[in-house]
Structure formats: C-alpha cells, structure tokens
Amino acid sequence: MNLLKIAAGVVAVGAVGEYAIANYFYNRTMIRSNAKREKTQEMAGTDWDAYIPHIHECKEKLAECPHEDMYIQSEDGLKLHATYFPCEGSKKVVICFHGYTSEGLNDYSTLAIFYLNKGYNLLIVDERAHGQSEGKFIGFGCLDRHDAKLWINMIIEKLGEDCKILLHGDSMGGATVLMTTGLELPPQVKAAVSDCAFTSAWEVFSAVLKNMYHLPPFPIMQIANQMVKKNAGYELDECNARREVAKATIPILFIHGEADTFVPCSMVHELYDACQTEKKLVIVEGAGHVESCYRDAELYEGAIESFIFPIMER
C-alpha cells in the first residue's frame, strides 16, 4: 500500500510539473504581451549584425517613399493595420506577411525596395496581435488566413477587378500564405512566395521542445493545445499548411534556409511535396531562419524574377 501511495505521489508531482511547463509554454508563445522578439531571434540562431546596416539603409529609403496606413476589421472584431506603398500606374501588388513576434515593416524593408523597383504596389501587413494591429492571441496562420482574405478583398476594391495579386510571407507569415492558398481565392490572386514556413504551430513547437529544450512534446503539447483552444478559440494543428497547400491552385515558390534551427528545413520538403500545383523549391545553403534573402539576395530575388514575375504577366 505504501508503495502505491508513493507511486501515486510521483505521478501527481509529474503531472503538476507537466502542467506548469505547458502553462509556461502557452503564456510565453500565444499571448502577445509575453511573446518577445528577442527570444525568438535567439531561438532562430541567425546572426543579424552583418545585415543591420543594409536593413537600416532600406528602412530609411522606404520611409521616404509615398505610403499610407490602411485598416480593416477582422471577422472577430479586431482592428488590423497595414502600410500601403503605391506604384503609380501599376495593377500588380504584393501583400506581405511577416514572421512571429515581428511586424510588417521590420521584415520587409529590403524586399519592399526590390518589389517597388520592379513595378509592384505593396501592402505590408501587421498580422493580428503584432505591430499596430489589435489582438491578444497570436494566430499562427490559422486565424491569420481569414484576415488575409479580407486584405485581398480590400486590395481588389482599391485597385480594381483587373489587378494582379502576389502573396509573400516569411516564417509565420509564410505559413499564413500557404494556409491561405487552401481557401477559395478570387482570380486576382496569381501566385505565392513562402519563405521558411512551418507546417503547423503544433509541429514547429514540438520540434522546439525536443531540439532546443530537450523535453518530450507529450503531454506538454496536448495540455497547451487545450489552453489555446479554450482561450484563443483554435487548436495548434487545426490548420496545417501541409494539408492546406495540397488544395492550392496557384503557383508557389518555396524558399528555406538550409541551416534553419527554428523551423527545420525538412518542413519545406514536406510542404513542397504536398503541393500539387505549379511550384519551385529554393534551398539557400548556410542560411538560418529568415536569413535567405540577406545571405544570398541574388539567388532569392532571381528565383522571384524567373519563376514568379512571368506568372504575374500572364
């Protein structure tokens, strides 16, 4: 009997510990006020020091370009923000979606200059619970894909039925874009670029727990998932980019850094294999998370020019 009591006590202590870890994980990753960019950058492992001067230079150039703030209301009542950069006389537009704990202008200053120089209008989105957009809970693409459709509709209304739309996302924004391709989209959406997207929040954070914290995902992820479902209204694998991209009908360019330690490079191969439409895969050797466009701009921009731009001219 004493052995049974001891065993029961050990199990109880273990369960309390697992709940505490799951609760920490939920609060740290899902709630806007607790999700810190510095921690995400540390986990990503990318050394940004070499790129900071160039990024600052591009931000200064971008700030001088004509632009305006734009807003929509999400289906659940949030006021969402984006920055619009017009390219006079052009009907082509890129809608950009940033990564986890970042914001639109932070991720897209360099690529914005590239796209503007190529004759594209730009809509750089702050995803829900990021930047100037409202929201307490981070959507990890599952909620953001519905917001993306609203931004698409807004752009069509602004530029007209004859506009051509390209979706471009990195990290969580890449997952958002791929999840959006699984929805029924208007014909104005012509193509998508996904940079270092994850398959689902469940799978990427399971990998983080295992590879970075050396913790077994079970039962931590199961407990955290119930917390997310109760408070944020969705489940961490409810919307999986691998499943959604299999429904895509538009061409997709997949890009990933070979040395990504946050979102394993193996995920892009899963996403690419699942995609049944016209597609191209680019792996940037030595690039960490969200580093590809800086580490090898020629390869990155060249892939967009050779694969995406001809599609946008059809």
- Tell me the per-residue pLDDT of 168-191, one tens digit each, with 9 for 90 and over: 999 999 999 999 999 999 999 999
Asked which of 233, 251, 282 is the last residue of a domain, the reply is 233
Instruction: Give a yes or no: residue 282 inside a domain.
Output: yes
Q: Print the domain residue range for 229.
A: 1-30+206-233
Mean pLDDT of 13-17: 54
Mean pLDDT in the chain?
A: 92
Instruction: Give a yes or no: residue 263 inside a domain.
Output: yes
Instruction: Give a yes or no: residue 130 inside a domain.
Output: yes
Instruction: Give a yes or no: residue 36 inside a domain.
Output: no
Comparing C-alpha atoms, which of 117, 75, 65 is closest to residue 94? 117
Same-domain pairing of 245 and 262: yes
Same-domain pairing of 301 and 215: no
Distance of CA 183 to the CA centre of its chain: 16
The pLDDT of residue 183? 97
Contact 35, 101 (CB under 8 A): yes
Same-domain pairing of 278 and 257: yes
Contact 105, 113 (CB under 8 A): no
The pLDDT of residue 46? 78
Mean pLDDT of 30-43: 80
Same-domain pairing of 196 and 213: no
Confidence of residue 48 (pLDDT cuts 50, 70, 90): confident
Token pair for residue 26? 């939920």
Single pTM value for the model: 0.92
Instruction: Give a yes or no: residue 35 inside a domain.
Output: no
Tens-place pLDDT, residues 96-119: 999 999 999 999 999 999 999 999
Same-domain pairing of 256 and 218: no
Scanning 233-281, the segments in alpha helix (DSSP H) are: 241-245, 266-274
Same-domain pairing of 213 and 298: no
Beta carbons within 10 angstroms of residue 298's beta carbon: 7
Contact 141, 175 (CB under 8 A): yes
Same-domain pairing of 212 and 127: no
Same-domain pairing of 69 and 217: no
Same-domain pairing of 279 and 171: yes
Contact 271, 254 (CB under 8 A): yes
Instruction: Give a yes or no: residue 196 inside a domain.
Output: yes
Tens-place pLDDT, residues 203-254: 998 998 888 888 888 899 999 999 999 999 999 988 899 999 999 999 999 9
Confidence of residue 10 (pLDDT cuts 50, 70, 90): very low
Residue 255, pLDDT above cutoff 90: yes
For strands 68-73 and 79-85, give the pairing. antiparallel
Amino acid in position 133? S
Same-domain pairing of 157 and 251: yes
* Of the candidate ranges 9-18, 163-172, 201-210, 296-305, the one whose mean pLDDT is the lowest: 9-18
Mean pLDDT of 28-42: 82
Same-domain pairing of 173 and 84: yes
Residue 8, pLDDT above cutoff 70: no
Same-domain pairing of 105 and 222: no
Count of structural domains, the chain: 2
**Percent of the chain scoring above 90 in pLDDT:** 80
Mean pLDDT of 140-145: 96
Asked which of 233, 248, 280 is the last residue of a domain, the reply is 233
The pLDDT of residue 279? 98
Asked which of 233, 250, 276 is the last residue of a domain, the reply is 233
Mean pLDDT of 149-167: 98
Residue 3, pLDDT above cutoff 50: no
Instruction: Give a yes or no: residue 266 inside a domain.
Output: yes
Comparing C-alpha atoms, which of 90, 101, 82 is closest to residue 34? 101
What CATH number is given to the structural domain containing 49?
3.40.50.1820
Residue 7, pLDDT above cutoff 80: no
Confidence of residue 135 (pLDDT cuts 50, 70, 90): very high
Instruction: Give a yes or no: residue 38 inside a domain.
Output: no
